[in-house]
Structure 1
């Protein structure tokens, strides 16, 4: 993948995409926080489940680092209800399951971090880091409190961007913050191994 212009500056700025699928306040907070760490941030506002699937299927046209902000439940990423004209056939009771993500994700080694509840288990690890090709997928295997998810994102990206740690070391550092942070689990590689 070619470097973006911000990466060639004397003081390079890492491009990060924030994808808001239902928690705009969290997405805006995370965007500002990432910018304060020196990232150049693109905020994506997919209006439909199909738009979200296009984003995660864009391959090299999407930034190397992705943060998905929204809500999750036992079925997956919560999208909710739409008017009849919007295709929601991929949703299960208003949520996007990991099986659909696995069909559409084309992530060429990207680092993907989800703040959405219940999206850190093996099924999503397989969908993003396995079949989807992400180099690292991180999500909460449970339901973090509202303020805990942005704090985890800050700790992770502070270690990654400010301290220049590897993604795995940044995950370890962020998980060490407190017991709630340990809810976030990382999955990597085509064989998909969960690690903490």
Structure 2
């Protein structure tokens, strides 16, 4: 991906993508929070599951840091119901399962963070980090309260951007805040 103009400033701004797949208030909060930490944020609003798959399959066009905001359940990322003209064949009871992500993800070297409940297990870790080639995939292996996810994101990116710590150190720092943030787990890719 070509370097963004914000990365050439005297005080460079790190590009981060926020993807809203069903929790707009959280996505907007996280966007503002990241901007306050010096990031330049692109907000993606995929309207369909296919749009989301196009985004995670965009390879070099995807920012180094990608945050997925929405809801999750035992089947995966919750997308819900659509009109008949929208292709939802990849969904299981309205949710996008890990095997579909694994088929489409092309995220070589990216750091992906999901705030969606139940998306931190091994199946999603494998889909993003191993099959999708992300350097690190972080998500809750459980169901944190709604306010816990933005807190985790803030702690993680504060350590990463403001303190200039590695992603692994930032993950452990963010996880150490309390029991709810410990639900967020990291899955390393094939470095």
Q: The TM-score by the shorter chain falls in which range?
A: over 0.9
Q: TM-score, normalised by structure 1?
A: 0.96
**Aligned residue in 1 for 2:93:** 93
The residue aligned with 1:149 is: 149
| 2:27 paired residue number | 27
Question: Number of paired residues?
Answer: 191
Aligned-residue CA RMSD in angstroms?
Answer: 0.9
Unaligned runs of 5+ in 1: 192-196
**What is the CA deviation profile of residues 108-153 of structure 1, one whole-angstrom value per residue up to 9, with x for unaligned ones?**
2100000000000000000000000100000000000010000000
Residues 1:80 and 2:80 are matched in the alignment: yes
Structure 2 residue 154 is the aligned partner of structure 1 residue 168 = no
Matched, 1:127 2:127: yes
Tell me by how many angstroms 1:189 deviates.
Answer: 1.8
Q: Structure 2 matches for 1:30-49, cutoff 5 A?
A: 30-49=30-49
Contact 1:53 1:105 in 2 (8 A): yes
Deviations 1:140-194 (A, max 9, x none): 0000001000000000000000000000000010001111110000001239xxx
How far does residue 44 in structure 1 lie from its aligned partner after superposition? 0.3
Q: Distance in 2 between matches of 1:113 and 1:80?
A: 21
Unaligned segments of structure 2, at least 5 residues: none
TM-score by length of 2: 0.98
SS in 1 for 2:117: coil
